[in-house]
Each structure stands twice: as structure tokens, then as C-alpha cells.
Structure 1
Amino acid sequence: MPGTVLLLAASPVGRGRLVDAAGVLPVLAAVAPAVLSGADTANVVELADPLEPQAVLTRLRAAAAAPGPLTVYLTGQLHLDRRQHRPHLALARTTAATVRYTALPWHWIREELRLRSAADTALVVDLHADAEAWKHITEHGLDCGPYTAVYGRVAPPARRGLAEPAYMKTVATLLRSGHRPPLGTLHEQALSRIPEETRGNLLLAHAGGWTAVGTATTAPAAPAVPLGAGPAGGAPGAAPPGIPAPGIPAQGIPVPELPAPWGPAAARPGDRPGERSDDPSGDRPGDQSGVPVGDRSGELAGRPPADPESVGDPPADPGPAGRPSGGSDPHAAISAAVRDGLHQEADGLAARYEEAAARAHGAGSEQALHWREVRADLAMFAGDPVRSCRAWLAVAEARLAAGQAADAPAVEAAVDRAHHQWGRIEDPASARELGPALARLRLRVPGRRRGALENVQRQLGRLQAAP
């Protein structure tokens, strides 16, 4: 099975540029795809100084959905948005005043990769942070999720001039030998070659699950800070409470692309990781249709087949992540059922685990909500946008009722997914029924895309005016 490699180098054009990120791409591009991936063969996608967050999200989503191992080589700079104080990856048009709208939210990356396995998902990063982002990250860590292996460094702002992505260039130079050692070994080899360039940096090295990281040793070392959410001392590979288990073929889209004319242009064959592509925007002239999500069961992250019958009945306590504490992982069985077109069986199995999680932890618990989200995605895979929209609306309402903020990523994601599925409903009566509930939610949860509420109101007006 071929692997997938995403080469992403991004930094602002102009005075806000901290690092010459794109300068590393020629060195990485000279490495054989199979070596970049660590697989026998690999598909490589390159993004050099992309302009739009949604275009990057499209490429990242396609890469995350591809079967086989995924390695993302990411070079760039981090900034905080001034409203929510969350890390963002700056893109070509990013300025200090427009981070929230022109940069890629770091949690989008985490969300896209959250349902893959650390055994086949890795981030190799060379990041430079501005002063605010550096302070935030050294205090709070950089949350990459519990199921992604992460290696690399975050550097503070350079004292003068434009910084060089020395870590990533060293990694690329090592890989040009034609051999890719285990990423942990590659990371150590790269650091040993550039000790001065990484002095005082935040070094990221973990193979999945929760672990602590610290700064490179100099005079007194800074205290270790957590990379990802989890209890201190958690064993690598252990899922923190409330984190969904990997394996289910969920859509995993923080901000889905909505139907035209409000949504962006459609994903196209060139947007998928089937070839090297140097077009940073992913756009092609003349195609203004909405993104076709539909049944992506043929694009799921590789998982071993499983027989749903082998999972057995859900336990009384499905465990901290809403899954059994022992035995077969039901996500693998559900994934296999979707691949085989057994959508009703997949939903039935998920429903049993939702009921078990609700009994053990409460209907509004993160464990139960995880399974409701799984079922919402399963409805999408089954080609039932009405059921999927209704389920995402219910998830959003439940999260808000539990006290989660309207701009919390999980709340925004649920409303955005409900909006996406509502736009795919063909039956006018069903769309009219669900439209008012979506409009009420959009008043509370406008999301990151301007015009979302207006889009719902406009489409609902057309539906209500139709005979």
C-alpha cells in the first residue's frame, strides 16, 4: 500500500516573515518519495507558500483520508490570533491583524489527524514562533493530538534577520542518503548536526500518546511542558480521557466546505495525493461547484479488516474514550462494515456503544458524544444527509447545553458539518424542516466563514417560497 507525503512550507510575504520556509522545499523534493514516506512507494503533494487556509485544509483532508502511512513535513511560523489566543500557522497573506482569517488554525491540523493511528501518522516540523506564540507554547505546549507521532522543533523569534529552517534542511539532507531510519533516530541525528541552531528551542519528540517535552539544554533548561492533552506521566500510546479512539472513518473536517455559491471551489483530482502538485491554492478556473463529500469509504485510512460479530456486546463501562477497555476495537469493525457497504450494521454497532457510553458516563458525556459523532458520519457515508444533518445538529445542541463555548472547535465543527449536510439534502420538505434549527444554531455559532448565517437564511427563504 503506498504512503502519502505532504510537504507544506508557509510563511507570510513581506515584513511579517520570520523564516524562509519555502527554501527547504527544493531539498525535500530531491528526496525519493519512498524515502520521504518510509513506504515502498508514495504519493507526494507540495504546498509552497499557500494563500488560503481552506485550500490547505482541502489538501490536508485528502492526505488524511488516504490509506497507508502519512507523513507531513511542515515548515513555517506560528502566531496567536488576538481573539481566542490559539496558535495558527501563518500563510502567505497573513498579517498580525488578520491571523484569525488568513492563517491555518493549528487545531485544524490536529482535528484532521485525530482519527488516524500514531503507528502510521507522523508530523515532522520546523516551526518558528513570534513572541506571543512562543510565550503561549512554552507555557501550554503544542497540542498535536494523542494519535500523531511528532518530531521537530519550535524556535523563538530570531534576534535579527530572516531565520533558516535548519532543522528541516538537515532532515532532508540525511534522507537524501536514500535511507529513512525510524523518525526518533532521524530526529536525534538531525539535532546532533545542528546543536547551535537548536539551542534554546522547544524540541518535540514523541511516538504517539501523551508525553512531555522540554527545551534544548543550555544554561538552566526551561521546565518541561506538555505536548497534547493528558495526565502527567501518562504512558506513550495511552489515550487521555475523553479523546476519541482512532480507526473510525469519520470525516474529521473542522470547517467543511459548504455548497456553492458560499462555499469554496470543489476538491478536484489534483487536490488528492496522487501526484506532485506545486499549485498552492488547489483552485482551477471554471469549476465553482461545492465539495463532493459523499461516500468516502474507499478512501479510509488503512485499518485491518474486522468482523463486526467478533466485537461482541458493548461492556457496561466502555472505558474512558468510549471504547472497550479490552478486546477488539469496535472502530475497526465499523470501518470494515462501511468498506463492505454494510451501513445499517455499522450504525447498529455504533448505536450499541453509544448506549453503553451513555449508561456509564451520561448522555452528555464526551464518551457518548463521540459515538453520536461517529453515527453522524456513518449517515453521511450511507448517503443519508437528512439523518447526518439531524445528528450533527443534536451534537451541537448537546455540547452547547453542556456549557461549551460557541466558538469551541468541537461546537463549530458540529454546526459546520450540519450546515454541509443540510446543503446536500435534495428533498425540499426535509430541508425546510431542518433549516430553522440550523439558522438558530448559526445565530449562536457563526463559525469562521463569513456569511454562514446569511447562506442559511437565503437558502431557507428560497425553500419556503417554492411551491
Structure 2
Amino acid sequence: MPGTVLLLAASPVGKGCLVDAASVLPVLAAVSPEVLSGTGTANVVELADPLEPQAVLTRLRAAATAPGPLTVYLTGQLQLDRKQRLVHLALARTTPATVRYTAFPWHWMVEELRLRAPGSTTLFLDLHADAEVWRQLAGRPLPVGPGANVYGRIAPPPSRRGVAVPQYMKALATILRSGQRLLPSVLHEQVLLRTTEYGDILLAQDAGAPGGGPRGEPVAVVPEPAVVLPEQATVLSGQVIVLPEPPAGVPKARTGAAKAGEAEDGGAESREAEAAGAEVDDPHLAITTAVQDGRHAEADALAARWEEAARREFGAGTAQELHWREVRADLAMFAGDAARSCGTWMGVAEARLAAGQDVRDPAVEAAVDRAHHQWGQIGDPRRAGELGLRLVELRSRVPGRREGALHHVRQHLAELRSAQHVPG
């Protein structure tokens, strides 16, 4: 039976905008309807920055009453009707004073999906909450209805002025563009491996779990003063390995500088990499295959040679060289070496700063955030303490988009010192 897909991205125009919701639609639109829906055929409906609540209701109702599975990809921001204290999805004309009249009431969403067969609806949500909604969510989780599968995150309002990026949905779309059809729960876990926001409310409700209840209750996080680091998702068998997108200038074929680098390196290490990917032209594909086969050392050796080749051809600290350092940071994560991943991500951030990139540059912030996340996964207290000193210095320069990140590093570092009985 054909499926139905609803792509909905909504956020206000102007200074009230918290997230650039519509920026994710071109990436999602590049995914085939069959992959978006998980069915043989599917109808796709796209709503970008709608103006009227009734227009959203009409499209949602049509999708909800269509036969077959329904998958909703929703990106946007939540605002509170101050009079009735009801959560709304902000639309293009929404302002804090006009939420009740210009935004889409969240309970309309729940009501329209209520009569669908349990398990036939899947929602992927990447939402940003304003300050009032965020405080309310700390004690009252966002309702979604018991019959729907729900995965995603709700992010707190940005700590300073600026428009956030829908990182969860962009990571999800990037994975889907690989063409592989994954169970929603597996897809969600793969997205969490690629996103490292602090203090987000993570959503994971499986309507098909025993008893029909949620497999994982959403976790409400009080934004101040607590900072909750996301748990690293379990790496499942048959996982999708998504490497950082290569910048312009990074060759995708095993030619030129890379082959020269392999010839210079020589030895057993070179022969191992050739055996792993001799028939593969794209080094990223060869690396991905090695990781999926559990050959982590070979994958890292291959990436190291491409890093060295990029350094010789383009120079240290260039986008091409940093790309391979980021790849190696992810490879360390996939291999379960959190300390090496943390150190590599910090090196990437430091290199970007040394090259003159601003401390608020998204690439700099992402590198520090990922280093911070991996630091929290290190099991060796002594090694964590050593890297923590470096992370404190880096966090003092790059605080990131979430309040309390620097405080968290200092607090955890103090706990490590106390556990080791190290003075000061």
C-alpha cells in the first residue's frame, strides 16, 4: 500500500525566528519518496514556512486520512499562547503577541493523528522551544499520542541571539540520502551519533513496543542550571557509517596525491589498505566498508594516508586536510576510542581557530561540541583528566550555543580530581 510523507518546516519571519527550519527541506527533498516513507511507493506533501494555521490543518488532515503508513518530518519552533498556556507550532507570521491567532496549536496535531491505527504513523521531530515552552516542558512532556512512533529532539532556546540550525533533521536527511531503508529506531540512533547538543529533550517512543507503550520516555531537562549530555547511542549491527561531507578539492578517486602518499608510505600498512579497498575508487566508500566489517585500524590507516596527502598538496590547516582529521575523529568514535576521538576533535577546533575562524563559526562550535561529547564517554579517569584540562581552555574560548557547557567541564573535571585524590 502506498505511503504518505508530510515534510513540514515552519518558523517565524524576522527577529522572532529561533531556527532556520526551511533550510532542511532541500536536503529532505533530495531523498526518494520510497526511502522517506519506507514503502514501495509514496506521495510526498511539502509545506515550507506556511502562513495560516488552517492551511497546515488542511494538509495534515488530508495526510492523516490517507490509507497506508504516514511519515511526518517536522522542523520548527514551539511557542506558548500566554493566555491559555497551550503549545503552538510557530508559523511565518507568528509573534509572541499573536501566537493564539497565527500559530498552529499542537493539540490539533495530536487530535488529527489520534484515530489512525496504532503504529501506522511515524513522526521525526526537530523542534526548538522558546523560553516559556521550555520551562513548561520541564514538568509537562509534549503530548504526541500513544499510537504514533515518535523520534527526535526538542532543543532549548539559543543562549544568545542568532538563528539555530536544525542539526538533527539535517543529519537524518544525510543518512537517508545514502538510499538505505532503516527502522525508525535505528535511524534515530544513527542521527544521535552525528549530533551532540547539550540539554536537548530526546524523544523515542515506539508504538509497537510490548503493551503499546513508549520504549523510551522523553527526558525533560531543566535548562538552568543543569546540563545533560546526550548518551552515546548503542552502535547496532548493520549500522550506517556517515563520514563528514568532503569539501571542494578533496578528490573522490584514488588518484594523484593519495596514490603518491600510499607509495611513499609503503610497507605492510599500505598493503593492508590496498587489500581493504583495492577495487574501490572512492576512499570514503572504502573506509566505510572497513568500519562496517570491523576493520577499524585499516580504516584509520587509509584515512591517515589521505590526510597526509592533503597536507602535502593543500597545506596544514586547510579545509581539505581538516576534512580527513574530522573523518579520523569519527573513526575513533566508531572504534570505541573516545579519548582519541576527543583529542582529534579538539585538534580540529584548535586548527580552525589558528586559521582565523571565529569562535562562533558553526564548524568550530561543532568540533568543540563533539570533543566535549566524546570526553564524557572516556572510561579512564586519568586520561579524562588530562584531556579535560585542554577542554576547559578550549571551552573558555568557544562556549558553544548551550548555557553551562564550560561549567559542566569544570564540574566534571573537579569530580575526576576528587576521585583520584589529586589536590586542587
TM-score normalised by L of structure 1:
0.48
Q: Secondary structure at the match of 1:268?
A: strand
1:28 equivalent to 2:63? Answer yes
1:341 corresponds in structure 2 to 294
1:356 corresponds in structure 2 to 309
1:298 equivalent to 2:238? Answer yes
Alignment partners' CA distance in 2, 1:29 and 1:384: 45
Query: Contact conserved, 1:10 with 1:22, CA < 8 A, in 2?
Result: no
Alignment partners' CA distance in 2, 1:3 and 1:300: 24
Query: Contact conserved, 1:350 with 1:375, CA < 8 A, in 2?
Result: yes
Alignment partners' CA distance in 2, 1:33 and 1:268: 22
For 2:369, the aligned partner's letter is D
Query: Contact conserved, 1:90 with 1:99, CA < 8 A, in 2?
Result: no
Contiguous gaps of at least 5 residues in structure 1: 37-43, 53-73, 80-88, 122-248, 304-310, 319-326
1:392 equivalent to 2:345? Answer yes
Q: Secondary structure at the match of 1:298?
A: coil
The CA deviation at 1:453 is: 0.3
Query: Contact conserved, 2:77 with 2:90, CA < 8 A, in 1?
Result: no
Taking the TM superposition and a 5 Å limit, the aligned residue runs for 1:10-159 are 10-11=10-11, 18-20=51-53, 22-23=56-57, 24-31=59-66, 44-45=71-72, 47=74, 51=78, 77=92, 93=130, 100=158, 105-106=164-165, 108=167, 112=171, 120=179
Query: Contact conserved, 2:159 with 2:403, CA < 8 A, in 1?
Result: no
Counterpart pick for 1:453 among 389, 406, 411: 406
The CA deviation at 1:292 is: 2.4
Alignment partners' CA distance in 1, 2:313 and 2:9: 45
Query: Contact conserved, 1:257 with 1:264, CA < 8 A, in 2?
Result: yes
For 1:336, the aligned partner's letter is T
Query: Contact conserved, 1:295 with 1:382, CA < 8 A, in 2?
Result: no
1:365 equivalent to 2:318? Answer yes
Alignment partners' CA distance in 1, 2:93 and 2:168: 13
The CA deviation at 1:47 is: 4.2
For 2:218, the aligned partner's letter is D
Alignment partners' CA distance in 2, 1:18 and 1:294: 40
Change (3 A) 1:301 1:355: closer
CA-based RMSD: 4.9
1:377 equivalent to 2:330? Answer yes
1:440 corresponds in structure 2 to 393
Counterpart pick for 1:424 among 355, 363, 377: 377
Aligned length: 274
2:31 corresponds in structure 1 to none
Q: Which has the higher helix share?
A: 2
Higher relative contact order, structure no. (Cα contacts within 8 Å, ≥ 6 residues apart): 1
* Identity percentage of aligned residues: 45
For 2:329, the aligned partner's letter is A
Contiguous gaps of at least 5 residues in structure 2: 17-49, 80-88, 95-125, 133-155, 181-189, 222-227, 244-251, 260-279
